């Protein structure tokens, strides 16, 4: 049996950052990072952006830390390896190849996976998701030989993928059940402006269309909407949200439908077992309530903090203003704060015409979120400070 001081499950940015956090405070403890993908932690966010747009896939730009970093810091990376069982009481993890790792402390960093809508034809060829490098390579290949690509969904990922493929001169449609794109994050006026931007760039918009199923014998031919329409499609990219990848701790206190519940210190109710990134359901002391974020900065920062805390040499709370960004066509939007609840009022400064503006979201008199279009990193940091101040933190 393999014995380790620290076992990190999931080699995304969350898991990779836990390793970094550990090595800041414990240079000697034995660390194993187990990851289902065959790559060291990489910039997943590039997959829907430059990686799809560029003529040759820029594999070199993807790594987050050079793989030599893991070697030089004595982190054993078992990649292309799945943890199939996780025994909390015995502190054991079983790997796909049957090996067992006994650990003193562990961190869950399995991230999230795309939601698969429960509709007919979901298993047809050319109905795909975009989560991993392999998915992105497959999408690049398929999209070159198919005439019409339909992206199902109207959120961040759907918008990014549609824009990147369209920039490659492909015929792209977005099928979305609401009347505007990004309606979950933007006020109606800004969402309408973004939607118009997609139309101007030549993306076909199938709005107010709910997915009913996919048709074809073995490979996709049409997408059927709930209103009975049939939309011809060579490839469908399903971007209907993600869910926490918690199978190995299903039916334990480490799992809930909303994520893996953790304390301010990112520790689960099992002492010595932490959870970070897309699957962590944490108390948000700044904005209030419990929160699960599925964004890069959150996974990165949580990884560093949990890594430090797990060593026992540091005890740091995770207290960050929620933040994410998106890019499509010539636009970049930064989101600071809480966008889970629709604002009761918004305030726009700047102009849509110049594509440079700030929209503040209020709940009554309380500032809850700030959207920035085409602003600098320092403006984004200033927005975080403004929100902290408004929250009295």
Ligand X SMILES: Cc1cc2nc3c(=O)[nH]c(=O)nc-3n(C[C@H](O)[C@H](O)[C@H](O)COP(=O)(O)OP(=O)(O)OC[C@H]3O[C@@H](n4cnc5c(N)ncnc54)[C@H](O)[C@@H]3O)c2cc1C
> Applying CB under 6 A, which of residues 4, 6, 8, 11 lies at the interface with ligand X?
11
Q: Which helix (H) or strand (E) holds 368?
A: strand 366-373
Please state the φ and ψ torsions of residue 281, each to the nearest 5 degrees: -110, 100
> Applying CB under 6 A, which of residues 6, 193, 198, 324 lies at the interface with ligand X?
324
Closest approach of Cβ 18 to ligand X, in Å?
A: 9
Closest approach of Cβ 49 to ligand X, in Å?
A: 7
Q: Does the footprint of ligand X cover residue 343 (CB under 6 A)? A: no
Number of amino acids touching ligand X (CB under 6 A):
36
Q: Does the footprint of ligand X cover residue 36 (CB under 6 A)? A: yes
Closest CB to ligand X among residues 46, 231: 46
CA 82, 86, 92, 97 torsion: positive or negative? negative
Task: Classify 133 as helix, strand or coil.
Answer: helix
Query: Which are the contacts of 312, defined by CB distance < 8 A and separation ≥ 6?
Result: none
Task: Classify 260 as helix, strand or coil.
Answer: strand
Per-residue x/- mask for ligand X, residues 242 to 271, rule CB under 6 A?
---x--x-----------------------
| Contacts (CB under 6 A) with ligand X, residues 290-309 | 294-297, 299
Task: Classify 304 as helix, strand or coil.
Answer: helix
Q: Does the footprint of ligand X cover residue 332 (CB under 6 A)? A: no
- Give every strand in the sheet of 148-152, ordered side by side: 127-128, 235-238, 148-152, 171-176, 204-207
Q: Does the footprint of ligand X cover residue 109 (CB under 6 A)? A: yes
As a whole number of angstroms, the distance between CA 298 and CA 305 comes to 11
Contacting range for ligand X; rule: CB under 6 A; set: 25-33, 180-188, 319-327, 367-375: 319-327
Q: Does the footprint of ligand X cover residue 47 (CB under 6 A)? A: yes
Cβ neighbour number for residue 237 with a 10 Å cutoff: 28
| Contacts (CB under 6 A) with ligand X, residues 114-143 | 130-131
Q: Does the footprint of ligand X cover residue 111 (CB under 6 A)? A: yes
Closest approach of Cβ 119 to ligand X, in Å?
A: 21
> Applying CB under 6 A, which of residues 7, 8, 13, 159 lies at the interface with ligand X?
13
As a whole number of angstroms, the distance between CA 299 and CA 41 comes to 12
Phi-psi region at 228: left, alpha or beta (left = phi > 0; alpha = psi -120 to 50): left
Residues that bind ligand X (CB under 6 A): 9-15, 34-37, 44-45, 47-48, 82-83, 109-112, 130-131, 157, 245, 248, 277-278, 294-297, 299, 324-326
């Amino acid at each position: 049996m393999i014995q380790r001081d620290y076992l990190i499950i999931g080699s995304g940015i969350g898991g990779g950052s836990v390793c970094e956090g550990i090595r800041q405070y414990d240079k000697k403890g034995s660390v194993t990072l187990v990851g289902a993908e065959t790559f060291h932690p990489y910039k997943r966010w590039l997959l829907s952006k430059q990686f799809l747009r560029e003529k040759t896939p820029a594999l070199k730009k993807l790594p987050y830390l050079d793989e030599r970093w893991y070697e030089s810091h004595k982190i054993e990376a078992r990649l292309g390896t799945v943890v199939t069982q996780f025994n909390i009481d015995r502190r054991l993890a079983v790997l796909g190849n049957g090996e067992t790792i006994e650990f003193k402390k562990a961190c869950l960093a399995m991230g999230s996976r795309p939601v698969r809508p429960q509709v007919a034809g979901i298993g047809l060829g050319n109905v795909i998701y975009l989560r991993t490098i392999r998915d992105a390579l497959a999408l690049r290949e398929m999209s070159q030989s198919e005439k019409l690509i339909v992206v199902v969904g109207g959120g961040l990922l759907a918008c990014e993928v549609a824009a990147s493929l369209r920039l490659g001169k492909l015929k792209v449609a977005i099928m979305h059940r609401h009347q505007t794109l990004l309606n979950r994050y933007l006020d109606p006026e800004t969402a309408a402006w973004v939607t118009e931007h997609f139309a101007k760039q030549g993306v076909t918009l199938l709005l107010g269309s709910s997915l009913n199923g996919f048709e074809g014998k073995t490979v996709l031919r049409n997408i059927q909407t709930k209103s009975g329409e049939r939309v011809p499609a060579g490839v469908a990219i399903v971007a209907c949200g993600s869910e926490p990848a918690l199978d190995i701790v299903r039916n334990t206190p480490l799992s809930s439908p909303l994520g893996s519940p953790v304390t301010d210190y990112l520790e689960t109710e099992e002492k010595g077992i932490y959870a970070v990134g897309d699957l962590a359901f944490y108390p948000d002391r700044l904005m209030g309530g419990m929160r699960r974020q599925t964004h890069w900065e959150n996974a990165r920062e949580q990884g560093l903090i949990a890594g430090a805390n797990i060593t026992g040499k540091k005890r740091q709370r995770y207290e960050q203003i929620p933040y994410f960004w998106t890019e499509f066509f010539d636009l970049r939007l930064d989101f600071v704060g809480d966008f889970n609840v629709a604002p009761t009022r918004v305030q726009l400064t700047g102009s849509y015409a110049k594509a440079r503006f700030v929209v503040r979201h209020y709940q009554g008199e309380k500032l809850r979120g700030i959207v920035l279009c085409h602003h600098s990193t320092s403006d984004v940091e200033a927005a975080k400070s403004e929100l902290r101040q408004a929250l009295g933190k």
